[in-house]
Amino acid sequence: MPPADADLCLLSAVDVAAAIRARKVSPIEVFEAVATRIQALNPQLNAFCTLALDQAREAARGAEDALARNADLGPLHGVPVAVKDDLPVAGLLCTEGSRLYADRRASHDALAVARLRAAGAIVLGKTNLPEFGHKGTTDNLLFGVSRNPWNLQCTPGGSSGGSAAAVAAGLAYLALGTDIAGSVRIPAAYCGIVGHKPSLGRVPRVMPGITINLLDTTWVIGPMARTVQDAALMLRVLAGPDERDPFALPHLGKKDFDFSGELHGLRIAWSPSPTRGPVDPSAARAAEIAVQVLTAQGVQVEEMGARLDPPVNALRALFSAGAAGAFRDDFPQLCGQLSPTFAEFVSQGLTVTLDQCVAAQVAASAFIERMAAVFGRYDLLATPTTAVPAFSTDLAWGPDHVNGQAIDPQLGWFFTWPFNLTGHPAVSVPCGWSQDGMPYGLQLIGRRGADGLVLRAAAAIEAARPGPHRKLPAWTEQAALEMPRGEAG
């Protein structure tokens, strides 16, 4: 017998793909279970901003037909997935969370979406984000606030907050996110899932029909999943060269996805705060305990004494100036249509000079050299993903104090952004719980190109400290139970 709907929706992507291939459950059964759960839980979570359930149902029927024909099946055959609303999906809205693009429909799939489809995945719809992905929480004037399934009063993080909430709550097995300063890893940490920011170029950033800056080296496309194995499966589908992205890397080898390999002799640098900012002691302790479990496998973990001094003003200048560039001429006329925090962000960017942009690039280059020195001695760097657990959706940017110390509410409460400046791969893996029952994340960073090693170490931590090892709050299952059975539409 197939599992009950709730159990089926919370299976790993690896397991549900295997069950479909073994004909233990059909693509239609999987889709209908997930669609019913979306209809039950999405009104509270606001994870999806655009649904395409009719199209997805047709795709599921096509996947069932392919099984009946004994056709060649891709590794994600029949697996429902979600796509962040800054990545185009042909025929669907692609609003980027902005009222300026409220009616824009994509004419083509992003390459990442096309690769998921080619692997057999079924696209359920688009997930919410802050306007143009400009901050670490998820709300906008077009679709409203997204919420954390572990506590509806808390943010799921951002900017891929809708994707993280959908995966955590069982509304999708996998989701695509994008990451400029932590937008995959922050929401992964806050929702208790795995979020991988690949090495720059590992997943080509090709989006036909959408104007993008391919020379911006801070933003990447990455997988979001409930397990490391799921994230790795998704990365295998997404990765591979494409001439349209000048930074695109060659294919990963099979050994990069062999998680049975020895970790003995690996050297990991531990930093409770790579930015030297304040951190909640429980967040730091949860991450440190998680990374220390690897010592049982012969891994050396040492606290890093050297100062990294990542250039926060460099990221702020480059990111805000990039955002302002698209609105420089029309900002006075458009300002009233923008989210207040995005308007504030653009205003900051409009004051950045050319000299400051050049200085920011030089500062980022110096930081890359310092990170090269770290990876000359260590194989991985481990940090908490964030300085604090998930906080109230009422905060426009984020907290302005940690442990009684004032911080920058835009960038001071997470430790992800330095590694967007360098292009290193980084993953957030669940590592524990706050006193209030909110998930914590451990961030692992590796040398450029070492995505396989980063994921292998994360998998070892996950196996030793399985998380979130708690059931979702009662409201999720109650809402799912109350939803009428049958085709959700």
Active site members: 84, 159, 183
Helices (H), 239-330: 281-292, 312-325
Helical pair 451-464 and 228-238, crossing angle rounded to 10 deg: 160
* Sequence letter at residue 186: I
Longest dimension (CA), the chain: 66
436 token code pair: 């209030």
111: closest CA among 214, 257, 226? Answer: 214
Burial class (CB in 10 A: 0-12, 13-18, 19+), 373: exposed
Number of H helices, E strands in the chain: 15, 15
**DSSP class of 226:** S
Long-range CB contacts (< 8 A, 24+ apart) of 16-24? 16/78, 16/79, 16/173, 17/75, 17/76, 17/77, 17/78, 17/79, 17/233, 20/63, 20/67, 20/77, 20/78, 20/79, 21/73, 21/77, 23/67
Only one residue has tokens 């029949």, namely 78
